[in-house]
Amino acid sequence: MSAEQTLEWKGRTGPFTLHVTPEVFAPTRTSMAVAEALEIESGDTVIDVGCGTGVLSFVAARLGAGRVYGTDISEPSVAVATRNARLLGLTDRTEFRAGTLFEPLDGVEADVVIGDVSGIPDEVAEVSGWFPGGFAGGRTGAEVPVAMLEAVGSFLKPGGRLYLPTATLQDENRVLEAARRVFGRIESIIEKEFPLPTLVARSRALAKLMADGFLNLRQKGSRMLWRLAVWRCIRT
């Protein structure tokens, strides 16, 4: 595994150490917010879509989940998450599989789905360098989350919960329309606002997406701010 580094997760159920490589998406502010939002009951079966290092799978396991399945399109991510599970002593409750969204999980039905998938427009992701391996959220940042929402039905038990982050740094309205179409009522349980890095805020890619009406950012002084929300979506 090339250029492996360690980082300290200081979010919910932490601190604990994670191993990560340059090919693997590291935890972010969004990861921290989703971890805060999670409601896990003892013995729950959990699916973590787009698991990256496995951090949210480990949070779910530490909160009492009975079984956690993490998936990621990136094989290096699956390898890193599997290694992290072993080092954290969580291999008895976590399993990581390579593939697109729910594709590796035929026959699995979950009580909880963690839907923290790539949700940043491809061109913005390229400018930012946030997404190793080129796995971003599609042209407007809505395409991958919408595909996840449209596929979730057969993998989530009736009464099951999906925790969905959205951001004004994507075509958020399209994602929320899909969530309401699939689930009916959804509820925002966390909202936070963050400044964009100057390199991203001044990029042509960002300016074009704003001009086209896909992004809804707020100017505060010299800074451009984006808002993150985490939604609880319950399957009826």
Q: What is the domain partition of the chain in residue ranges?
A: 5-234
Place of tokens 């250029």: 3
Residues paired with residue 188 on neighbouring β-strands, in sequence order: 231
Q: Which residues contact 224 (CB under 8 A, 6 or more apart)?
A: 195, 196, 201, 217, 218
Taking Cα atoms as reference points, which of 105, 211, 115 lies closest to residue 165? 115
DSSP line for 60-122: HHHTT-SEEEEEES-HHHHHHHHHHHHHHT-TTTEEEEESSTTGGGTT--EEEEE-----S-H
pLDDT at 222 over 80: yes
Give the tens place of pLDDT for each residue, 4-42: 899 999 999 999 999 999 999 999 999 999 999 999 999
Dist CA 173 CA 49 (whole Å): 21
| pLDDT in the model for residue 19 | 97
Pick the CATH number of 5-234 from 2.40.50.140, 3.30.1490.190, 2.160.20.10, 3.40.50.150: 3.40.50.150
Its pTM stands at 0.95
| pLDDT in the model for residue 2 | 59
pLDDT at 1 over 70: no
pLDDT at 138 over 90: yes
| pLDDT in the model for residue 134 | 66
